[in-house]
Homo-oligomer: A and B are copies of this chain.
Amino acid sequence: MIALFTDFGLSGPYTGQVKAVLASQAPGVPVIDLFADLPAGKPQPAAYLLAAYGPWFPDGTVLLGVVDPGVGSHRRAVVVEADGRIYVGPDNGLFELVLRRAGKARGWEIVWRPEILSASFHGRDLFAPVAARIAVAGLPTAMLRKNAVTRFPDWPDDLPQIVYVDHYGNAMSGLRAEMLPTAADLAAGGRRVARARTFSDVPQGSAFWYENSNGLAEIAVNGGRADIALGLTIGTPVTVLR
């Protein structure tokens, strides 16, 4: 299985061209759109999402992760194997939290280059062919060089910010709920919200936070939009109040 984790969008040509490459070069391998609407060009919040959502996938899944503001520059292209899953994408921190939380991890630089490499779309031209090769035949050692992936040691283990707003208006933070005191409140956008188990446990229109289905602390409003009600967007700070 190949899972796509990108800021490419679904409606325009980018995800489609990536899938056309995968369909040609890894025929029959299921391709799943995990996220196509990551914060455009912001690898840091995306990294905390990937660490929450990537390990949910079965062993052997190839995760094609592309949030790539430095495409066409000298940033490297990398492959990371972490706890049985393989991540392919730019060397810009996108895999930092996956690496940090993995029991067992290795990294490579992708040294292979396709015949035609556009300056702006390595997702299609470079990362998709490598992901296809891995899905079909395992790690292509001839395409790779053992090499340290760039690390971002100053990034926190949990990011006290909003990292994603979904289409319901729920706002995911980069905080793992299991790392928070059970009775902690969260504050964001000037509002303090208490924890609940799920939507139907609070009155209609009430704001709360809960452990979402992938373990992140998420701020929501039952029957409403937390992003609008609390003024939350990518990067809004989230404070833990005990």
In the assembly, what is the distance between CA of A33 and CA of B36, in Å? Answer: 13
Report how many copies the assembly holds: 3
Given A1-B24, A3-B16, A36-B11, CB of A72 within 8 Å of CB of B166: no
Which residues of chain B are within 8 angstroms of A19 by Cβ–Cβ distance? Answer: 30, 32-33
Q: List 17 A-B contacts (CB under 8 A).
A: A1-B23, A10-B33, A16-B34, A69-B199, A71-B200, A72-B198, A72-B200, A72-B201, A73-B200, A73-B201, A118-B212, A119-B197, A119-B198, A119-B210, A120-B198, A120-B212, A124-B213
Q: Which 5 A-B pairs have the closest CB atoms?
A: A72-B198, A121-B213, A11-B37, A9-B167, A73-B200
Q: A29 to nearest B CB, angstroms?
A: 10
In the assembly, what is the distance between CA of A223 and CA of B67, in Å? Answer: 12
In the assembly, what is the distance between CA of A56 and CA of B24, in Å? Answer: 13
SS class, residues of chain A in contact with chain B: loop
- Chain A contact-residue range equals 35 or more
- Contact of A199 with B23 in the complex, beta carbons under 8 Å: no
A138 touches B (CB below 8 Å): no
Given A17-B34, A20-B3, CB of A69 within 8 Å of CB of B200: yes
- Contact of A72 with B197 in the complex, beta carbons under 8 Å: yes
- Contact of A11 with B223 in the complex, beta carbons under 8 Å: no
Which residues of chain B are within 8 angstroms of A69 by Cβ–Cβ distance? Answer: 199-200, 223
Which residues of chain B are within 8 angstroms of A13 by Cβ–Cβ distance? Answer: 34-35, 53, 166, 214
Which residues of chain B are within 8 angstroms of A1 by Cβ–Cβ distance? Answer: 20, 23-24
A181 touches B (CB below 8 Å): no
In the assembly, what is the distance between CA of A57 and CA of B34, in Å? Answer: 24
Q: A73 to nearest B CB, angstroms?
A: 4
A125 touches B (CB below 8 Å): yes
- Contact of B16 with A35 in the complex, beta carbons under 8 Å: yes
In the assembly, what is the distance between CA of A23 and CA of B28, in Å? Answer: 11
